[in-house]
Structure 1
Amino acid sequence: MSESAGDLPSAWAGALAAAGSVPMSAAETRALAAVLADWVRDALTDPVAARKAGSAVGSALIDSHHTQPESLAASIAVLADHLPTEIDSAVRTALYAGLAAGYAEGLRDRTRREQEAIRIAVLDAHRTGEARFRAVFRGAALGIGIADGEGRILEINEPLARMLGRDARAARGLEISSLRLPTDPPEYWEHYRALLAGRRRQMTGEKQFVLSDGEVIWARMRASSVIGDDGKTALVVGLFEDITERREMTERLRHQATHDPLTGLPNRTLLLEELAATLNFRDGRAEGEDTESEDTESTESEDAADADDGDGLAESGSAKSGEAGEGRRIAVCFLDIDGFKAVNDTLGHDAGDRLLIQIAARLREAVEPHAHPVARMGGDEFVILLPDTAGPQSAIEVAERVLAAIREPVLLDGRELTVTGSIGIVEQPVEGAGPSELLRAADVTLYWAKAAGRDRWALFDPQRNARQVARYALSQELPGALERGELFLEYQPIVDLADQRVRSLEALVRWNHPRLGLLGPGRFVPLAEETGAIVALGRWVLRRAVADAATWPRPPEGAPVTVSVNVAVPQVRDPGLVREVRDALEAGGLPPARLQLELTESAVMEPGRRGRPAVQRLRELADLGVRIAIDDFGTGYSNLAYLRRLPAHTLKIDSSFVKGLIPAAVPDGGAQDGSEEPIVSSLINLARACGMMVIAEGVETGAQAETLRKLGADTGQGYYFSRPLPADQVPALILSGFGDAGRH
């Protein structure tokens, strides 16, 4: 944006004044521009409002005599320079489309009025005197033609002769039907025949003329019949306005609104229109499509006959309707350039733009055998439309051809780059499909391809998508579940392997979902981590667990039981973690030494710039007296040197190692080697060397518990000792002394 939006009225007034001579003073022009600017500013909220405002502005320009095409072009240029940059592209496009449509319609109405006045003058002059008729005929700026009741030209004036590219005298006697072109809409000539036959009194339409040198002229025509004494058509008077320049301007605006300026490819707006036409999806018109029938100023019966007058869109739409039959299939390929951001960041946005131009050219070439439509959605995203497929394999073949084309090295600023792409494919029957739904499904599938390793395609799977939609819906319900009290805690004992007494209990969150029933943490905790809700969830679990632990009794023998709470990676990275732990301990009245925080390796094994803040928070927690445990050890990124520097008190050995401790029986009566025992022994020795206690997870048998005790593990946790218990059963468990009688 070159200037501030506040300068719009003055800039607009100056542009209108420079566009052409209009009988308005400078003050009147400024007042008009101020009103138009207010209309635009008030409508930048959504595409519908923007289109209506643009249409009103276009009509106002015509009403104020700004009928030169330069006035329309200047208005759009001023708006492009002065609208806020944050305006959504759909709103901006709708505004321009409405402006062009309103301007064209206003000019059309003005021309109709002028044509009607001339038509009446011609007919009146023809009746009242040859001299007056000749004066009107020769002096009119519009093209005028008169034909007899058989459709033979009697007279044409010079403006019409120039449009036809013929000599006015030589045109006499010419059959009007000889001017027919293959590109003419069929209804145009149907209405003409009805006019000659007396079934119509008037007709309007747009007609194309091709001159001898190939130049194309477009004319807006309005014809009326003169009925003779015998009740038959005696004469036909036609008025023609040269609209070539206006039509070219409209086409340029239309092209700008529906094509990407960088690559020249169709944009999202045009793609949605093409999809809607292909699918016969009548409610899926893109914003800005003009569906209003023109006012023919005819009788009621003539209005019905004139409903199809215009640019032929209705005809092509009905043809598409016939094609969208049962059994047809369609495919959409959604493409994204892998690592495109790195190109912009390292070589600059200019280089990124040149890369996109080359990619667009390769896409065109890759689909050239079948001329499949290709569109740029924005950024580095492209869509290829396959409007008639024979099944998924045909779409896959196109995707593989496109990926191969993208892999070819690209030369940018003297450097040879190799880029790749990922493609999401949706291939399905046309029947029942909608444009937006197809694009959304293809976009989702694109990210499946990226998640699988990039430089590949993925095919849409409705069942997988349904699962993801269900997961998303569940993630959206989670914040409300906290407020509604649907979450609760259960506790699983951590037992001393030597004396079988409870030393700690791990808090495990559960969700009593009103529709899905009881959900374990595996169903919703990963979702909470993905959406960011884990911080609020973790805060609630921490406060609830601390409050519960503060009420637990002291066991008959030994130290008070501690509570162990899981802390997710986003919580560790949250600067407010230490304060939240301190506040929870103070609110619950629990000594810090009775709280143990369990963190996975990925949360703490981050040496370097990103790791130091997390470790610093752990040190602050350890200084408070809170115990730190490293959970699921051995399954992640194990930096042993870094482990020694962590302020951790306990190491939890993952259940996958515990499961393989005892040889398992095989079908032939033999046994598999207990290959995990050396690993578990090494992990225990490592923990001892770092001054840590050891908890073994997933203990399910007495043999596993005994082996772990012999290897030197301190405590164990698993179904062998107890399943997770409701909070109200924990005090009795602690007081029972557990032992063999306490197992569940």
Structure 2
Amino acid sequence: MAKDYTDAIDGIRIGPKVGSCGTAAYRREPVIVADIMHDPLWEDYREVAAPFGYRSCWSTPILSHTGAVLGVFAIYSKTVREPVEDETRLIDSTTRIAGIAIERKLAEDRIHFMANHDTLTGLPNRALLSDRLSQAILYAQRYDRWVTVVFIDLDNFKLVNDTLGHNAGDVLLKTVASRMVGCVRATDTVVRLGGDEFVVVLFDQVPDADIADAILRKIRAAIAEPIRLGEHNIRATASMGVANYPKDGADAETLLANADAAMYHAKELGRDNFQFYAPEFNSKTQEKFLLQEELRDALARAEFTLLYQPQVDLRTGHVFTVEALIRWNHPSLGLISPMKFIPMAEETGLIVPIGDWVLHEACRQNKAWQDAGLPPMVVCVNVSARQFKENNLISRVVNALTDSGLEAKYLELEVTESLIMQNIEAAVATMNELQGLGVQISIDDFGTGYSSLSALKTFPVARLKIDKSFIKDLAADENDQAVASAVISLGQKLNLRVIAEGVETDEQIAFLRKNNCDEMQGYHFSMPVLAVEIVQLLNKNNAIDGV
């Protein structure tokens, strides 16, 4: 078969009158043309065949085991004739063998693709990343170029899955993947590692950080373009870490690890940014890893303790509630702030057993105070998003109350505004169950989230807590005054008590009293203290009030 002829017919669409091959594929049956120059099937193509002397063509479609057309087997002759019996048998057997061979090759190609590509996005996966990156490094070594590795993690992707569903999450991932591919060259590689993590390998880079910077900004802008998910327009952001060969690593494993460390630094700086690798990131990552490992054993080693901060009625000055606040007494590092280890516990899932311990210990201590003769009061315990979503949250609360002997009315659970807004229907159902037990519920950090008034009125809560960010400059900042007074007024209209946290000055108290705020919590009255100090503080408070 002449190459010029095969080139001439390559790409012609199949149809009911497209020579022998195109018609055979269209009809899914053999087409025998004895005379190309006179057969109507070749009317539009006989001038293509004539220069090569082809006069007859016998075409048989190659079918898969399911009947799909895989191709066409054709025999051309330079004489006008039909195939003889032996030729017909040859065509039949060859066609069957060709079908088996093609199906096997397609299956092998599919298996190879699936082994090396992500099924959702079609991007190369982790298995292919190592090979692509190693090749890029070898090329860079030979030609004195850079290889830029970008580790990308979408910000708050879990929130999209939890609020809009996994189908929406899949659409988001596929859209972002496509946009990133559109930002780089065909020689570059975009990889999906899994979940919401991606890696971009920029091949054959000129040794110039400004060029990589421009590409990163292009990727960041592309990711941030609105994405339509059902009825919602979502703007995604990403944290990106960058490592360059040869400065930041001489092999694929080191470059990936350093880009990953830089990405975590980007998250620590508030997300939605990119950071180039610096050696100190590794020491921070190592420190975080070791701290996580020690956190796993902290419960067993009894390294946690609870402090309690009183909450005070602004009208009477009485302490009516104490908030339980966890602290970690590390054997070598001393007291570790919750701001440092609670996010770690959330990330690893350790927040569930740690939160369970806090719940049991707070209930036990409150019952111990009552048994010691102190006036009954409520103990308030914070519930994290991870705990709140646990299927057995209600049974955990029941167990804590049962084990301690504390009446449910003396326990309050504090949830954040943003937590309950993630899935309002589920949150309300859980809160109703807790309220059915007799447990009180309050909303923490109110004013920093995004709840609507229509949603708020459905929440079975007793109190709103004004976030301390609005209290800090309350005496002088008109905006903070407006927010605080609005929350107080809203609470009163909904028959909810309102408490201000972070109260430290007489001026703040004066404003809160003037605006009829119900309660306050903060250093002005007491910092968080040990359980034994609560006894002393309450005895002193009661003595002043003449109780």
Give the alignment's TM-score, normalised by structure 1.
0.47
Report the Cα distance in structure 1 between the residues aligned to 2:385 and 2:248, rounded to whole angstroms. Answer: 46
The answer on whether the counterparts of 2:464 and 2:496 sit within 8 Å (CA) in structure 1 is: yes
Shift of 1:506: 0.6
The answer on whether the counterparts of 1:389 and 1:395 sit within 8 Å (CA) in structure 2 is: no
Structure 1 residue 719 corresponds to structure 2 residue 523: yes
The counterpart of 1:661, out of the listed 455, 470, 474, is 474
The counterpart of 2:431, out of the listed 611, 618, 621, is 618
Structure 1 residue 487 corresponds to structure 2 residue 304: yes
The answer for the alignment partner of 2:440 in structure 1 is 627
Counterpart amino acid of residue 612 in structure 1 = E
The answer for the alignment partner of 1:270 in structure 2 is 131
The counterpart of 1:588, out of the listed 404, 410, 413, is 404
Report the Cα distance in structure 2 between the residues aligned to 1:262 and 1:520, rounded to whole angstroms. Answer: 41
When residues 405 and 480 of structure 1 are mapped into structure 2, their CA distance, relative to the original with a 3 A threshold, is closer
The answer for the alignment partner of 1:107 in structure 2 is none
Report the Cα distance in structure 1 between the residues aligned to 2:466 and 2:223, rounded to whole angstroms. Answer: 46
SS in 2 for 1:490: strand
| Mapping 1:218-297, distance limit 5 Å | 267-274=128-135, 277=138
The answer for the alignment partner of 1:162 in structure 2 is none
The answer on whether the counterparts of 2:308 and 2:534 sit within 8 Å (CA) in structure 1 is: yes
Shift of 1:551: 0.5
Structure 1 residue 562 corresponds to structure 2 residue 378: yes
The counterpart of 1:648, out of the listed 428, 444, 461, is 461
| Mapping 1:373-452, distance limit 5 Å | 374-375=188-189, 377=191, 383-386=200-203, 389-397=206-214, 399=216, 424-427=241-244, 429-430=246-247, 433-443=250-260
Shift of 1:633: 1.2
Shift of 1:337: 11
Counterpart amino acid of residue 618 in structure 1 = M
The answer for the alignment partner of 1:548 in structure 2 is 365
When residues 84 and 477 of structure 1 are mapped into structure 2, their CA distance, relative to the original with a 3 A threshold, is farther
Counterpart amino acid of residue 503 in structure 1 = F
When residues 568 and 394 of structure 1 are mapped into structure 2, their CA distance, relative to the original with a 3 A threshold, is same
Task: List per-residue Cα deviations over 1:316-336 (Å, max 9, x = no partner).
Answer: xxxx5xx88xxx865334579
Shift of 1:555: 9.6
Report the Cα distance in structure 2 between the residues aligned to 1:640 and 1:547, rounded to whole angstroms. Answer: 36
The answer on whether the counterparts of 1:494 and 1:502 sit within 8 Å (CA) in structure 2 is: yes
The counterpart of 2:483, out of the listed 670, 674, 679, is 679
Shift of 1:553: 4.0
Report the Cα distance in structure 2 between the residues aligned to 1:431 and 1:648, rounded to whole angstroms. Answer: 52
Counterpart amino acid of residue 210 in structure 2 = Q
Report the Cα distance in structure 1 between the residues aligned to 2:418 and 2:221, rounded to whole angstroms. Answer: 37
The answer for the alignment partner of 1:210 in structure 2 is none
The answer on whether the counterparts of 1:500 and 1:739 sit within 8 Å (CA) in structure 2 is: no
When residues 275 and 614 of structure 1 are mapped into structure 2, their CA distance, relative to the original with a 3 A threshold, is same
SS in 1 for 2:341: helix
Shift of 1:700: 0.3
Report the Cα distance in structure 2 between the residues aligned to 1:652 and 1:401, rounded to whole angstroms. Answer: 41
The answer on whether the counterparts of 1:553 and 1:734 sit within 8 Å (CA) in structure 2 is: no
Task: List per-residue Cα deviations over 1:36-74 (Å, max 9, x = no partner).
Answer: xxxxxxxxxxxxxxxxxxxxxxxxxxxxxxxxxxxxxx9
Task: List per-residue Cα deviations over 1:242-283 (Å, max 9, x = no partner).
Answer: xxxxxxxxxxxxxxxxxxx999xx943433433564688xxx
Counterpart amino acid of residue 433 in structure 1 = A
The answer on whether the counterparts of 1:445 and 1:459 sit within 8 Å (CA) in structure 2 is: yes
The answer for the alignment partner of 2:421 in structure 1 is 605
Counterpart amino acid of residue 346 in structure 2 = E
RMSD over aligned Cα atoms: 4.8
SS in 2 for 1:552: helix
The answer on whether the counterparts of 1:601 and 1:633 sit within 8 Å (CA) in structure 2 is: yes
Report the Cα distance in structure 1 between the residues aligned to 2:370 and 2:184, rounded to whole angstroms. Answer: 71
Q: Which moved more, 1:384-393 or 1:398-407?
A: 398-407
The answer on whether the counterparts of 1:553 and 1:735 sit within 8 Å (CA) in structure 2 is: no
SS in 1 for 2:321: strand
The answer on whether the counterparts of 2:262 and 2:281 sit within 8 Å (CA) in structure 1 is: no
Matched residues, number: 417
Shift of 1:644: 1.8
Report the Cα distance in structure 2 between the residues aligned to 1:594 and 1:516, rounded to whole angstroms. Answer: 35
When residues 438 and 586 of structure 1 are mapped into structure 2, their CA distance, relative to the original with a 3 A threshold, is same
Structure 1 residue 705 corresponds to structure 2 residue 509: yes
Report the Cα distance in structure 2 between the residues aligned to 1:406 and 1:566, rounded to whole angstroms. Answer: 35
The answer on whether the counterparts of 1:538 and 1:571 sit within 8 Å (CA) in structure 2 is: yes
SS in 2 for 1:737: helix
Counterpart amino acid of residue 374 in structure 1 = D
The answer on whether the counterparts of 1:331 and 1:389 sit within 8 Å (CA) in structure 2 is: no
Counterpart amino acid of residue 521 in structure 2 = Q
SS in 2 for 1:427: strand
When residues 492 and 691 of structure 1 are mapped into structure 2, their CA distance, relative to the original with a 3 A threshold, is same
When residues 85 and 724 of structure 1 are mapped into structure 2, their CA distance, relative to the original with a 3 A threshold, is farther
Report the Cα distance in structure 1 between the residues aligned to 2:518 and 2:289, rounded to whole angstroms. Answer: 41
Task: List per-residue Cα deviations over 1:341-383 (Å, max 9, x = no partner).
Answer: 99x969x99xx79x97x98698445xxxxxxx53454579564
The answer for the alignment partner of 1:688 in structure 2 is 492
The answer on whether the counterparts of 1:633 and 1:653 sit within 8 Å (CA) in structure 2 is: yes
Shift of 1:631: 1.1
* Percentage of matched positions with identical amino acids: 36
Shift of 1:733: 2.1
The answer on whether the counterparts of 1:425 and 1:460 sit within 8 Å (CA) in structure 2 is: yes
The answer for the alignment partner of 2:52 in structure 1 is none
The answer on whether the counterparts of 1:542 and 1:584 sit within 8 Å (CA) in structure 2 is: yes
What stretches of structure 1 of length at least 5 have no aligned partner? 1-73, 91-260, 281-319, 366-372, 409-418, 664-672
What stretches of structure 2 of length at least 5 have no aligned partner? 1-100, 226-235
Report the Cα distance in structure 2 between the residues aligned to 1:396 and 1:660, rounded to whole angstroms. Answer: 39
Report the Cα distance in structure 2 between the residues aligned to 1:361 and 1:682, rounded to whole angstroms. Answer: 47
The answer for the alignment partner of 1:500 in structure 2 is 317
Task: List per-residue Cα deviations over 1:204-241 (Å, max 9, x = no partner).
Answer: xxxxxxxxxxxxxxxxxxxxxxxxxxxxxxxxxxxxxx
Structure 1 residue 510 corresponds to structure 2 residue 324: no
Counterpart amino acid of residue 570 in structure 1 = R
Shift of 1:430: 4.1
Counterpart amino acid of residue 271 in structure 1 = R
When residues 83 and 647 of structure 1 are mapped into structure 2, their CA distance, relative to the original with a 3 A threshold, is same
The answer on whether the counterparts of 1:555 and 1:734 sit within 8 Å (CA) in structure 2 is: no
Report the Cα distance in structure 2 between the residues aligned to 1:682 and 1:475, rounded to whole angstroms. Answer: 41
Counterpart amino acid of residue 737 in structure 1 = N
Report the Cα distance in structure 2 between the residues aligned to 1:617 and 1:421, rounded to whole angstroms. Answer: 32
Report the Cα distance in structure 2 between the residues aligned to 1:733 and 1:374, rounded to whole angstroms. Answer: 66
Counterpart amino acid of residue 506 in structure 2 = G
Report the Cα distance in structure 1 between the residues aligned to 2:499 and 2:223, rounded to whole angstroms. Answer: 52
SS in 2 for 1:724: coil
Give the alignment's TM-score, normalised by structure 2.
0.63
When residues 388 and 730 of structure 1 are mapped into structure 2, their CA distance, relative to the original with a 3 A threshold, is same
Report the Cα distance in structure 1 between the residues aligned to 2:513 and 2:153, rounded to whole angstroms. Answer: 54
The answer on whether the counterparts of 2:180 and 2:219 sit within 8 Å (CA) in structure 1 is: no
